[in-house]
Amino acid sequence: MSRGRPQFQPTPEQRSQCAILSAGRVAEADIAAVFGITRPTLHKHFAAELTQGAAQRNAAVLLALYETAVAGNVAAARTWLARQADQQGALLGKKARQRADAAEAPPPEWADLLRH
């Protein structure tokens, strides 16, 4: 008498892997394939990792990046500052961003010809 397939039970390692894959924006279908389960089973057993895992893992990476930058790592400091600049740009609307980009853009080579 066959009882069918045993019920899936995620391990702590799989939970961590799911959160990391979610943070890396891996498609849910691909995450499910990694564990050999269906998407409904993925949602049933990994709901928290899919919804909160990305935020938790990204926060951990940002904290580590900040600590490394403060400790004197120049590459980490540049990465941190670039991320902050990107966030400021994201706060602007499309038209405001275009105006800001245009104000910073160097004049084209032919700009002098138009002034004469």
Cα 114 to the chain's mean position, in Å?
A: 45
Closest CA to 66 of 78, 53, 54, 52: 78
- Where along the chain do its domains lie? 10-61, 72-106
Three-class SS state of 116:
coil
- The distance between the two most distant Cα atoms of the chain, rounded to a whole number of Å, is 94
Q: Residues 26-65: pLDDT tens digits?
A: 999 999 999 999 999 999 999 999 999 889 998 999 899 9
pTM of the model: 0.62
CA-to-CA separations, 104 to 72, 81, 97, in angstroms, rounded = 30, 18, 11
